[in-house]
Amino acid sequence: MESLNLIGRKSLVTGGASGIGKAAAAMFVSLGASVVIADLDRDSADRAAADTGATGAVAGDVSNPVDAARIVDSAVAQMGGLDAVFHCAGIHRLGAAMEQDIETWQHVMDVNVRGTQLICSLAAKHMHPQGGGAMVVVTSIAGYNGQPRRSAYGTSKAAVAYLARCFATEWGQFGIRVNAIAPGYVLTPMAKSIIDSGATDANRIIGRTPLGRLAEPAEIARTAAFLLSDWASYITGAELFVDGGWAAYGGSAEVNTF
Ligand code: NAI
C-alpha cells in the first residue's frame, strides 16, 4: 500500500486559525491536500491560510446555521468539492457547577455541540452525492471521566463523542466515515490560557500522564491525518484517545511513583 497521504483531498479545517487546527492545516497541506481554513475572524483565518499554504479561508461562527452553511459552501466553492472535514473549532470554559452561569454553559454547548451538528451534517450533504468522504471531530479526556468545574465543557465533549458515533452509524451506508479524537492536554493557546490562569497545574497533569509530558499540536494533527486518510478506510465511529495514556490511568497518585 502507498505511504500515508492526503493527495488531492479537498479538506475543510474549522478552528484552523490557531492551535491544533492550524497545525493540522499545515500537515494536511504537506500530505498533498487542498485545505480551506474556517475560523471566527477573517484576518486570523487569512493569516493562517498564508502560514500553512492552505488554498483559502472563510470566516464564520460554526454554531450559527447561516455561517455554518456559508463555511461549508465556501469550502466547496474554493476547492471544487469536499472530501474531508477536520472539525476542530471549540471553546473551553471552567466553572463550579453550583455557580455555573447558565448563559456561559449554553454558549459552550452551542459552539461545541451545535457547531458539530451543523458543520458535519452540512458537509455530509455534499459528501453523500459524491459517494463518500471522511470527518474527524475533537472531543476531550474531559468528556470521558468526571472532572470538577467542567459541567459545561465535559458535557459538551461527551455529546460530541456521541454525535461521532451517531453520524458514523447513519452515514456509513453513504461511504462517509466519522471518527473522534480525544486529546489530553495539548500545548495550544487554549491549554496555555488554562494553565497560565492557575486553574490547572501543568506539573500535576504531567505527573499523572504515563508518557510524562503534554502533547504537541502536531501529534493530534498526525492522528487526524491518519483518520482522514485511506489508511483508516475501515475505521468509523471510533474515539481515539491521544492523551499520553491519561485516560487509561486510574491510580491514586502520580503514575510514575509505583
Ligand atoms: P485554540 O483556542 O487554540 O483554537 C480553537 C480555534 O477555534 C480558535 O482559532 C477559535 O477562534 C476557533 N473557534 C472558537 N469558537 C469558534 C466558533 N464559534 N466558530 C468558529 N471558530 C471558532 O484551541 P485548541 O487547543 O487548538 O483546541 C482545538 C480543539 O481541541 C477544541 O475543540 C478543543 O476543545 C479541543 N481540545 C483541546 C485540548 C487542549 O489541551 N488544547 C484538549 C482536548 C480537546
Rounded Cα gap, residues 253 and 116, in angstroms: 35
With CA atoms as reference, report the closest residue to 10 among 251, 228, 238, 246. 228
Mind telling me the catalytic residues? Answer: 153
CA of 115 to the centre of ligand 1 (A): 12
Confidence band, pLDDT 50/70/90 cuts, at residue 117: very high
Please choose from 190, 192, 193, 239 the residue to mutate so as to test ligand 1's pocket, defined by most ligand atoms within 8 A of CB: 190
Q: Summarize pLDDT for 241-250 with one digit per residue, the tens.
A: 999 999 999 8
Single-letter code of the amino acid located at 71? I
Helices (H), ranges, 64-178: 65-79, 102-109, 115-130, 153-171
Name the average pLDDT for the chain.
96
Q: Summarize pLDDT for 45-73 with one digit per residue, the tens.
A: 999 999 999 999 999 999 999 999 999 99
Hey, whose CA ends up nearest to atom 6 of ligand 1?
A: 15
C-alpha grid cell for residue 59? 470566516
CA of 230 to the centre of ligand 1 (A): 26
Note the Cα 161 to chain centre separation in Å: 11
Residue 98: CB atoms within 10 A of its CB come to 6
Helix pair angle (19-30, 42-52), 10° resolution: 40
* Binding-site residues, ligand 1, Cβ < 6 A: 14-15, 17-21, 39-40, 61-63, 88-92, 111, 115, 138, 140, 183, 185-186, 188-191
Note the Cα 79 to chain centre separation in Å: 21
With CA atoms as reference, report the closest residue to 77 among 43, 126, 28. 126
Q: Which residue has the cell 459545561?
A: 152
Atom of ligand 1 nearest to the CA of 21: 26
φ and ψ of 215, to 5 deg:
-90, 155
C-alpha grid cell for residue 112? 461545541
- The pTM of this model reads 0.98
C-alpha grid cell for residue 103? 448563559
Q: What totals of helices (H) and strands (E) does the chain contain, helices first?
A: 9, 7
CA of 92 to the centre of ligand 1 (A): 8
- Work out the angle at residue 9's Cα, subtended by the Cα atoms of residues 6 and 13, and round it to the nearest 5 degrees: 95
Confidence band, pLDDT 50/70/90 cuts, at residue 258: low
